[in-house]
Structure formats: C-alpha cells, structure tokens
Amino acid sequence: MGEYRSSLLKGVKGTVLEIGFGTGLNLVHYPPEVKVLNVVEPNLGMKKKAQKRIAQSSIKVGNNLGSAEKLPFENQTFDSVVSTFTLCSIPDVELALWEIHRVLKNKGKFFFLEHGLSPDAKIQKKQHRWTPLNKKIADGCHLNRDMAGLVDGAGFHLLDLKKFYSPGIPKMVGFFYQGIAEKVEG
C-alpha cells in the first residue's frame, strides 16, 4: 500500500488535514514541504498506537479527537485534505464529505485512496451481501460504497481518478479509488 500512498500524497501542500489518521501510516509518504499536519481521528486508542511514527517524523502532528462528520475547524482553513481507507467506515459519509468541502479553501484539493464498489456486477453482488456483516466485524467498513460518486456528489470536481483492482487482494475488498478532487464553489 505504500506505493499507492506515496503516489497519492506527492501533491499534498500547504495547510493539511488528514481524516482518520489511525496509526499514522501516511506520515512517511508526505512530501518534505509538509511540516505541520492536523489530524482528526475518532478512536482514542489510535493516538497511542501512532506515537512511535509521530516521534520518528519531522512533521508536527496536531491531534484532534473527533468525527469527520463534525470537523472542529473554521470554514476554508485547509489547502489539502487527505483520506486513505477511511471513507468506508464513516457512518454518515455524505456529511463527512460536505464537512471536508467546508474546511477546504476555494480551489483546495481533496486527496483520497479508498476501497469500494466494484464495477463488476458479480463482485458487487458479493459486496452488497457481505457489507452488513463486514460493518459489524470491521469497525463499520462498507464494502459497497461508490467513492467516486460520493466525492463528485459533495461539491467536488474530480481532477484525477484511478479505479483499479489491487493485485493480491480479493476483489471483494480490493477495488480501489485513488483520486484528487478540487473544491468547487457553487
């Protein structure tokens, strides 16, 4: 996954927010220009797990406990917002995307790498069938979200979008959306 993360994050710049920071896996993939990173993480236990990566990083990390559906920041605060493998588990993903839109500056960029709904009807059928159980065992993770459609529907213009199956991962969980979307005022 490191290759995907590096590829996505190479264009991140300015004031940056990461949604769903988790254990800090993205830290080593940010470009050197990123000196400060604000993060929002709903799971208090993840902060402790991320401490080793934070200590090893030159990036100053500002931790915020909270949910993406109610971001604790003013309107138009960030140049870049990042989400990797997070949108699948946010209960109200549409609200979270509108919150991301709200905190981005005009022409700000949303960088995302997510798994989601496959274009293959047979795989989709499995994803729809398994999602209720997966939500229970995988911290709310939906296998069947159309990530590109969700981002596009939240007031963003997709600048770059790659959709692909990741090799070596079962197709039911291995269809990825990697993209950059720009905030559009409307």
Give the chain's mean pLDDT: 95
What mean pLDDT comes out for the span 48-69?
92
**Amino acid letter, 157:** H
* 14-23 tens-digit pLDDT: 999 999 999 9
Q: Which of 84, 78, 91, 83 is nearest to 141 (CA)?
A: 91
Report the DSSP beta bridge partners of residue 41. Answer: 65
What's the CA angle centered on 179, arms 6 and 79, to 5 degrees?
A: 80
* 117-172 tens-digit pLDDT: 999 999 999 999 999 999 999 989 999 999 999 999 999 999 999 999 999 999 99
List % helix, strand, coil for the chain (3-state, nearest 5): 35, 30, 40
pLDDT value at residue 48: 85
Q: What is the full DSSP assignment across 41-92?
A: ES-HHHHHHHHHHHHH-SSEEEEEES-TTS-SS-TT-EEEEEEES-GGG-TT
Report the DSSP beta bridge partners of residue 86. Answer: none
- Structural domains counted in the chain: 1
Q: pLDDT: is 48 or 4 the higher one?
A: 4
What is the dihedral sign for C-alpha 130, 162, 82, 23? positive
Q: Which of 94, 92, 113 is nearest to 9 (CA)?
A: 113
CA-CA distance, 161 to 152, in Å (whole number)?
Answer: 11
pLDDT value at residue 184: 85
What mean pLDDT comes out for the span 16-33?
95
- Contact predicate 75/98, CB 8 Å: no
Residue 110 structural domain = 2-183
Read off the CATH number of the domain in which 127 is found. Answer: 3.40.50.150
pLDDT value at residue 1: 84
CA-CA distance, 181 to 108, in Å (whole number)?
Answer: 8
pLDDT value at residue 158: 96
Does residue 186 register a pLDDT over 80?
no
CA-CA distance, 68 to 64, in Å (whole number)?
Answer: 11
Q: Which residue has tokens 């991140």? A: 12
Q: How confident is the model at residue 74 (pLDDT cuts 50, 70, 90)?
A: very high
**Number of Cβ within a 10 Å radius of residue 160:** 13
Q: Which residue has tokens 């997966």? A: 134
pLDDT value at residue 3: 93
Q: Which residue has tokens 């509108």? A: 98
